[in-house]
Structure 1
Amino acid sequence: MSALITPELVALDADLGSDKGSVVRRLAELVAGAGRATTGDSLHADAMAREAKAATGLPGGIAIPHCRSSAVTQASLAFARLSPKVDFGAPDGPADLAFLIAAPEHGDADHLTLLTALARALVRPEFVASLRAASSSEEIVALVQDVVSPAPAAAAPAAAGGGATASTAAPAAAAPAATAAGTSSRTVIAVSACPTGIAHTYMAADKLTAAAKEMGVELHVETQGSSGSTPLDPSVISRADAVIFAVDVGVKDRERFAGKPLVQSGTKRAMNEPEVMIREALAAADDPNGRRVPGTAGAGGEAPAGDGGKPSLGGEVRRWLLTGVSYMIPFVAAGGLLIALGFLFGGYQIVNSDPSTDGLSYAQNWALNNTFFDLPSVSGVEGLTDGFLGYLGAVCTVLGQAAFGFLVPALAGYIAYAIADRPGIVPGFVVGAVSLTVGAGFLGGVVGGILAGFAARWISGWKLPAGVRGLQPVVIIPLLATLISSGLMVIVLGRPLAAALTGLGNFLTGLAGTEAILLGIILGLMMCFDLGGPVNKAAYVFATTGLAGAATTGGAPLVIMATVMAAGMVPPLAMAMSTAIRPKLYTPAERDNGKAAWLLGLSFISEGAIPFAAADPLRVIPSMMVGGATTGAIVAASGVELRAPHGGIFVFFAMSNAVLFLIAVLIGAVVGAVAVTIAKSIGRPKADDVPEDAVDLQHAHTPTHAPAAPAGAAAAQQAS
């Protein structure tokens, strides 16, 4: 296996710029110049995307920007001893030692293990002092190779011992800490995890381990990192007094810790305040009313991963709603597209009532009372397809309507799930179904889901006698939480919410002329504001929940659906046009994203523009909003109707005027492309002006003139 670091990847006492973006860019150029990455720009963008999630500055003047990147062809470490120091977000000030840890996107386990070995060495004061005292690049390389050499890494499993420990990559955390004289032994377990699983994961584990040893506390850590993890032994979990979640991402298999007293924060707090977190965990173990890991044996909700502190109310509400919407959308896509196919094969009148039956639609009559071999035919009914295609259309329609029936229950159920975890699912689904029964629609689903979630979480916290505690998750919580939330929906909230929904529908149905244009502009702005975020999803849910009931009758809901889809197609297409028109304004990676954005835009995947928006939000997002508003106004004013909730141009058969729809999308995309091209041409150097080749940073004394690409591009690209 080739060396992770060579003298060419070291810069000593170099002035690499005044901000972390410049430092990361120069280090990325070193990696690319050594032939270990295809382009420094892409590696820089990926590293800054990771930096945007959580600062990589550590106490003691250290910074470890790191990422996994598709641009990296060979796992590498680039090191700089900075003069002057640069702020990387550490609590005690700027850093003079910076390591760029660059791992391939699909790196092998051996390289990842070596990279994490370096991260763990950085918590040792003697190693850091040696880096500051080194007089040559070769000395730096030797120091680093000593801590990441294969021999110590291979010894990790032996140190772990017994299988009742944390991770093979965390030997120090595996062994129980020595109990201080005169101190009663307490046992704490911990899980550490960060988004890339390379550095913070293991450094947090080591900091907690060292602090526990000094405090005489037995600590076992499970590191959920890129080099793999060995789950904690169930017997260790069982006898632990408390659990610490030092995570920036979700905890895998969290139900293993259900009922344990819990302290949760981000990995950075575990590195900065390990003693404080351990003391908090011990205090939580002694507090009968303290927070517990949600599950059968305990109560409480799980806070989102972060750097500590209580999340804001706005952030929590956003998380609840986006969770509900994200679980609801597959029902929308499956149900809506099946109904659209039903219309294509059977005709739009297939959902109308069949007079020869007792209340069944043509689709229900054909699908339920015939088989594949009957090939039913209907004569004298205008607009219906007979024979096999008619039967196929009937089957698709029945299936789609069944899937559509879960929209509001799924929305409410998973909002409740986001609040109360599994105990919230049953009452959430029920109150969603009840909201449909009383006519409250998606408004009832949102309100009812929140009620169900809080009711379930409250009941989960009851301290019941041991004899009935086993009934709590399977009987008591579903029964009482459903009674509370659905009862309130029927008795108190149903009629007001139904009236509000009816009023909103009547208002939209009455829109015409300039008012319809205003509606189109608003929906277009919402669809392009955050490209798949909560504002975008709010407009989309508003459109799709009104689609089912208006599938054949037409009117405002179908116009709204067309407006939302058309506006959502604009951002990727606009960015694709801009990269084709003025490629010199974009990096090579962005040009590649532009090629993919053509298909994403045509398919109504707004997230195709996220890489561009994340890298340059102040220029991209307003430009996209202008384009989306233009398209929205044209579609709404012209009254184009759409009977499918997704698919872009591929559901042209479900549009009342596909040609006008496409013209509106094209006009908006052109407007957006022109706007973003002009915006990017003002006050910003061309991407081709940024040097692709690495420079000799050991003799550099002035910062590069190439500006640092804003953070977030790579993460957004993966999200698309």
Structure 2
Amino acid sequence: MKLLGITSCPNGIAHTYMAAESLQMAAKAAGHEMKVETRGSVGVENELTDEDIKGAHAIIIAADTNVDRERFQGITIIDATVQEAIKNPKGLIEKAVSSKKSTVSVSATAAQQTNRSARTGVYKHLMNGVSHMIPLVAAGGLIIALSFVFGIEAFKEKGTLAAALMDIGGGAAFAMLVPILSGFIAYSIADRPGLVPGLVGGMLASKIGSGFLGGIIAGFCAGYIALWIKNAVQLPKSLEGLKPMLIIPLFSTLAIGLLMIYVIGTPVKAIMDIMTETLKGMSSANAGLLGLLLGAMMAFDMGGPVNKVAYTFGVGLLGSNVFEPMAAIMAAGMTPPLGLALATYIAKKKFTPEEQEAGKAASVMGISFITEGAIPFAAADPVRVIPSIVIGSAVTGALSMIFNCTLRAPHGGIFVLLIPNAVGNLGMYVVSILAGTVVTAILLSIFKKNINPTNE
């Protein structure tokens, strides 16, 4: 039987492709042909053609973003989340196969509409902003880190390569972080009419000093203001073209601009200043507790909403020259796949041959700061795996903060460690990662049962 699929997560990085692979493997195991279109951060890949759609029995749309359904008239649509496709691909394939081809299901059922509406709320809009911001964060942060190769303060000397790198990474890329975050939050809410007021609101948040928190608030306010104007203002058909080109941009930008200057900006700046000073003045014990919390959040859902909240928190603080949380967050994000990889090596009887092979891939994903490498193991045995990786990452996060480790680049995994001065207290940072990795592996070795009971 010929099946189709579409996968798309808000960030479009790991989950999109893991869901596609899970569906294809499950379909192949059941003896069916399946083509999956992925909509990731690099755009649409393996695009479904009219010929593909014409001969298909059903399509599984495993997406946490909006997907146009008009082209799928005449075939059954199975709605799912990306997590469902990763954790239960067999069930989705069985559901698609058992559906009647004569059932035209372009519009979702009531339950599916409920699931979809849940995916279009605050989290979806926030992640749309974050996903567009991450490439800027990664590029800008790594370029800033490269400027430190010449010395931690070498960029202060005008005309040098270090100064040029700092201008590119800090003066240009990082200067656009908050506007891009805000702009694409508003874009997610109101489509194209929300982009201009969102960008302007984010730029004002940067100028006022209210940082990423002000940018998030500006993005949501701008988006909903633009959406309200779009729906509320009714014009004659001959003047309808003025709405997207003049009326919505003008009045929504004016509204969010005045709100940021006179209402939102100053109090949010005060909150950011208090937060920044509090973090800078933390005692070792308090820093350890924060690291413990951030580390646990990074492992809890392995790239999901809780993980992204922690990551966004760390990235936002980089603009305020607070580098300790980002160090704890990246270290804790590396620990789950590394701990699982180590566990498959030291406790082989606890893992199937397939899991042992997956452990090799997890090790590569771990050193690259791709926490999602732990998902296949967690999906197969969540009761034992999730507590183990949460505890291991919490240990790593706490130790990193206690040791006062800093990180000036928000991504890159182990490869950032090779850049001089990018990581503060490098030795203890490595110790923190190793400690969490070992704790995770030991806990898994204790909690998991042998594959063959006769070996126990």
TM (norm. structure 1) is 0.51
Query: How many residues of Structure 1 are paired with residues of Structure 2 in the alignment?
Result: 402
2:355 corresponds to 1:425: no
SS of the aligned residue for 1:195 comes to: strand
Shift of 1:67: 4.1
Is structure 2 residue 453 aligned with structure 1 residue 567? no
CA distance in 2 between counterparts of 1:440 and 1:609 reads 35
Q: Are residues 1:522 and 2:326 paired?
A: no
**Residue matched to 2:24:** 68
Mapped contact 1:248–1:305 kept (Cα < 8 A): no
Query: What is the correspondence of 1:139-538 to structure 2 with a 5 Å cutoff?
Result: 168-169=54-55, 193-195=59-61, 222-223=71-72, 248=79, 307-309=112-114, 316-344=121-149, 346-352=150-156, 362=157, 365-366=158-159, 391-401=160-170, 402-461=172-231, 462-538=233-309
Q: Provide the C-alpha distance between the structure 1 equivalents of 2:78 and 2:192, rounded to a whole number of angstroms.
A: 21
Q: Which residue of 2 aligns with 1:102?
A: 32
1:76-96 Cα distance to aligned partner (Å, 9 max, x none): 8xxxxxxxxxxxxxxxxxxxx
Distance 1:442 1:454 in 2: 18
Distance 1:513 1:605 in 2: 28
* Contact 1:67 1:101 survives alignment (8 Å): no
Residue 105 and residue 341 in structure 1: after superposition, are their counterparts in 2 closer, same or farther (change >3 A)?
A: same
Matches within 5 A, 1:628-707: 628-652=393-417, 653=420, 654-681=422-449, 686=451
Distance 1:330 1:304 in 2: 36
List per-residue Cα deviations over 1:619-669 (Å, max 9, x = no partner).
111111111111111111111122221112211221122121111110110
Identical-residue share of aligned pairs (%) = 42
Residues 335 and 578 of structure 1: is their aligned pair in 2 closer, same or farther, counting only changes over 3 Å?
A: same
Larger Rg: 1
Determine if contact 2:300/2:307 at 8 Å carries over to the other structure. yes
Match of 1:625 among 390, 397, 400: 390
Does structure 2 conserve the Cα–Cα contact (< 8 Å) formed by 1:247 and 1:306? no
The answer to whether the 8 A contact 1:584-1:688 is kept is no
Quick one: structure 1 residues 414 and 625, their matched pair in 2 at CA, closer, same or farther if it must change by over 3 Å? same
Q: What is the letter of the counterpart of residue 222 of structure 1?
A: R
Determine the structure 2 residue equivalent to 1:543: 314
2:364 is the counterpart of 1:594: no
1:78-157 matches, cutoff 5 A: 100-103=30-33
Q: Secondary structure at the match of 2:24?
A: strand
Aligned partners of 2:344, 2:130: CA distance in 1, in Å?
32
CA distance in 1, matches of 2:427, 2:251: 54
Match of 1:96 in 2: none
Which structure 2 segments of 5+ residues have no match? 3-18, 38-49, 82-94
Question: What is the rounded CA distance, in whole Å, between the counterparts of 1:326 and 1:584 in structure 2?
Answer: 39
Offset at residue 419 of structure 1 (A): 1.1
Distance in 2 between the 1:522 and 1:425 partners? 34
Q: Deviations over 1:549-598 (max 9, x none)?
A: 42xxxxxx222221111111111100100111122322333222210111
Deviations 1:339-366 (A, max 9, x none): 001111x3221344xxxxxxxxx3xx31
- Deviation sequence 1:4-56 (CA, Å, 0-9, x none): 89xxxxxxxxxxxxxxxxxxxxxxxxxxxxxxxxxxxxxxxxxxx79xxxxxx
CA displacement 1:465-518 (0-9 Å, x = unmatched): 112211211222211221222221111111111111111111111111211111
SS of the residue 2:71 aligns to: strand
Aligned-partner Cα distance in 2 for 1:497–1:412: 15
4+ runs deviating over 4 angstroms: 104-107, 270-275, 303-306, 310-315
